[in-house]
Amino acid sequence: MMQQAKEEEQRRRRRSIGSKWLSNTNAVVGYTIALLTRTIPQCLRHKAHEIRVRVTTKHPHDTYWIDHRRGDLMRPVSHDDNDTPNETTTKKPTTTSTILYEGSAGIVAAGTAPYYGGGLKLFPFGRMTPNGMHLRIGRISPVRGLLSVHKIFEGSYRDASVEGFGCLDFCGPHFAVELLDPPEGYPVQHSGESVGRCSRVEFEVTAAATAAAATTT
């Protein structure tokens, strides 16, 4: 959806040169049109928004889950009383990392700054920790995303329902995302540019530069 929205925004920007109002609304309109004309039809035909992922971290003691049920409370994932929603097992340790989430997702994105681009505040918790980033797992359907597009853009969208948890937010210095299904990987973007299909993406913030680096495989 991100790539589709970007293409739609560029097309509308070329058409609306000289119109300040259209330029300011291009981003929201672009995402809405991309959802209506491309993302939702693809999802209905191919269930393209249902990918299976596993998200892990090497630093569980420095990683927090944002609990929307308690006013965006930052809860350490290393605590035993953490009830982070999951389709399998939360905080399951592996040999080198800790599983934060494993299940279905429509989008997994990370950033150190609140704004993704075009006024989209996709990472409202991007600066909550001095040497960390905000990782967001979107689990809502494209239809709900369309109905909530303004809240998503302003960074105020939350889903605190225990049954749904359509929006999962984590803050920490390191995250690894494994794309389990489809097996051939999934389209990935870095800084708004497509890097092709990947089966694994790793994000890490370097403390010295306070910058996020991503590696893909």
What is the arithmetic mean of pLDDT over 66-79?
A: 89
For position 18, what pLDDT does the model report? 46
Q: What is the pLDDT of residues 111-159, one digit of tens each?
A: 999 998 778 899 999 999 888 999 999 998 878 888 888 898 899 999 8
pLDDT level of residue 20 (50, 70, 90 thresholds): very low
For position 134, what pLDDT does the model report? 97
What predicted TM-score, i.e. pTM, was given to this entire model?
Answer: 0.76
Measure Cα distances from 174 to 167, 179, 213 in Å: 19, 17, 10
- The C-alpha angle 89, 109, 59, rounded to 5 degrees, equals 55
Q: Average model confidence (pLDDT) for the chain?
A: 78
Residue bearing the bigger pLDDT, 181 or 28: 181
The helix/strand/coil state of 148 is coil
What is the arithmetic mean of pLDDT over 77-86?
A: 67
How do beta strands 167-172 and 174-181 pair? unpaired
pLDDT level of residue 24 (50, 70, 90 thresholds): very low
> What is the per-residue DSSP string for 184-214?
T-EEEEETTEEEEEESEEEEEEETTTTEEEE
For position 57, what pLDDT does the model report? 96
Instruction: Check pLDDT > 90 for residue 81.
Output: no
Structure letter (DSSP) for residue 95: S
Of the segments 9-13, 22-26, 85-89, 178-182, which one has the largest average pLDDT value? 178-182
For position 201, what pLDDT does the model report? 93
% of residues, the chain, pLDDT over 70: 64
Instruction: Check pLDDT > 80 for residue 61.
Output: yes
Of the segments 62-71, 79-88, 159-168, which one has the largest average pLDDT value? 62-71
Query: Of the ranges 82-91, 181-190, 204-213, which one carries the lowest mean pLDDT score?
Result: 82-91
